[in-house]
Structure 1
């Protein structure tokens, strides 16, 4: 038998196509149409999903833009410098500058202040240095409440009151993770440094500078600070041994 008679299953011209073959052909055509319809539906769903994703991304960008543009409107305490990012004491033209990054709930910061706060005060008083405080709030909820209260104090009574209030907070530093000092206690300490009255009480209870506390902490991170206390002398970090009172004074005088 010739090869083409074995392999070619097409009916000869004029011959009637068998019923089974017609059914098979019809089913194949229907299956092809179903697959084409399914592809169209899949493409349509993908287009819709892509459109939704684009809308979500655009919405996220708009919301973030609105948040970013509203950041400058956050309440910032008076008597601060660098757009509210620091509290400065001492002469602006002092020959040396100390930048102090601390968290009021940081035990190491409390130890540093107990040892060297007097030395920094003396350096400010004799004109050797100016001190720029960059308080942060990253340890717990009380860190934020304490820093907000410090913002209320500097707003109401100025930088010197801020430094004195900070000393009181370190002297009474609570255990990490606990509730911390109450609002009433913070209000009482604020009064001891000359920040009193209805506005001070409201500011502490209502966390009027809460956004500011976040801005300070974010700025410290952008400044490369990843631990507290971090002390910079004319922009250069001091080693732990240099944070002792005598070594700190010697470093400042050498830089002046």
Structure 2
């Protein structure tokens, strides 16, 4: 074989190798930005989750417009970044009269993004059970609203929906719970930023009796809680948790491990066992 032919074949191999490297790099970038690369087992089914791969604001205390951070009514926790849902500790204790030593209902902590399909899967599977445990005073839920999908795919639907949910909390905690459920039942496809439309969010709020007041409209349209939402997302991004939904019971992660799938009945057993401790 001539020297020229050998060099020509070597050059072709090098070009093929470089092309394959470029294709692998593109595939890796797509996986990183696609947010569906993580898989969670729930009742034996795989679902998509939101994965932290987004930038955070340099100044988490301010939104894009520099507006003040305004927590919704009744927000609790450090920085008042948590929306509680369920019977208060006081009312739960009153319902447990004659059972001394009880510290109140166990807490389910949920980090969610209203655009996240994995969050919708969690809500669709566990909604009824969560409400039953809440209404029985066995469990209290603390919601942390985050915006991973906005950061990964672009758009503002996560922020807009979270702000609207916080506006519902301003009206009435019971309306927050109802509206929270409406938003997940009507969640658009992940790549469609339909929740960026305030009009769409207000129209969905009509499904919650008495929610759409002039004050609610102003809150949604004016982005009253946008900076609060961004602060909540920034804290989550630095929390050590990497995806939504992140679900903790009594501070311990209980959801998303394929080796230990969670079911509604298992959640009930865990809550009741914690209640007996």
- Please indicate the TM-score interval, normalised by the length of the shorter structure: 0.5 to 0.7
1:252 is aligned to 2:274: no
In structure 2, what is the equivalent of residue 232 of structure 1? 248
Provide the secondary structure at the position in 2 that maps to 1:243: coil
1:44 corresponding residue in structure 2: none
Q: Which residue of 1 aligns with 2:203?
A: 188
Instruction: Give aligned pairs, total.
Output: 190
Aligned pair partner of 1:91 in 85, 88, 92: 88
CA RMSD of aligned residues (A): 2.4
Looking at both structures, which has the greater relative contact order when contacts are Cα pairs under 8 Å and sequence separation is at least 6?
2
TM-score by length of 1: 0.68
Checking the alignment, whether the CA contact within 8 Å between 1:101 and 1:136 is kept in structure 2 is yes
Equivalent in 180, 189, 192 of residue 175 of structure 1: 189
Where 2:178 maps in the other structure, the secondary structure is: helix
Q: Deviations over 1:8-41 (max 9, x none)?
A: xxxxxxxxxxxxxxxxxxxxxxxxxxxxxxxxxx
1:171 CA drift (Å): 0.9
* Distance (Å, rounded) in 1 between the aligned partners of 2:138 and 2:205: 29
Q: Equivalent residue for 1:139?
A: 149
Does 1:217 find its partner at 2:252? Answer: no
Q: How do residues 151-162 of structure 1 correspond to structure 2 at under 5 angstroms? A: 151-158=166-173, 160-162=174-176
Query: Take 1:95 and 1:210, find their aligned partners in 2: how far apart are those partners?
Result: 30
Residue by residue, what CA displacement relative to the aligned partner does 1:216-245 show, whole Å, maximum 9, x if unpaired?
111222332211111111101004345321
Q: How does 1:1-256 map to 2 (within 5 A)?
A: 73-82=68-77, 83-89=79-85, 90-92=87-89, 93-140=103-150, 141-158=156-173, 160-181=174-195, 182-193=197-208, 194-240=210-256, 241-256=260-275
**Mapped contact 1:242–1:248 kept (Cα < 8 A):** no
- Measured in 1, the distance between the counterparts of 2:176 and 2:240 equals 24
- 1: distance between equivalents of 2:271 and 2:133? 8
Aligned to 1:29: none
Alpha-carbon separation, structure 1, partners of 2:213 and 2:131 = 28
Q: Distance in 1 between matches of 2:149 and 2:119?
A: 12
Name stretches of at least 5 consecutive residues in structure 2 with no aligned partner. 1-57, 90-102, 151-155
- 1:73, distance to aligned residue in structure 2 (A): 4.5
Structure 1 runs, 4 residues or longer, greater than 6 Å off = none
Give the CA deviation at 1:189.
Answer: 2.3
Cα deviation, residue 76, structure 1: 1.6
More helix by share: 1
Q: TM-score, normalised by structure 2?
A: 0.63
Q: Tell whether the 8 Å contact from 1:106 to 1:228 is kept in structure 2 after alignment.
A: yes
Note closer, same or farther for the CA distance 1:175–1:239 as it changes in structure 2 (3 Å cut): closer
Tell me, which stretches of 5 or more residues in structure 1 are unaligned?
1-62
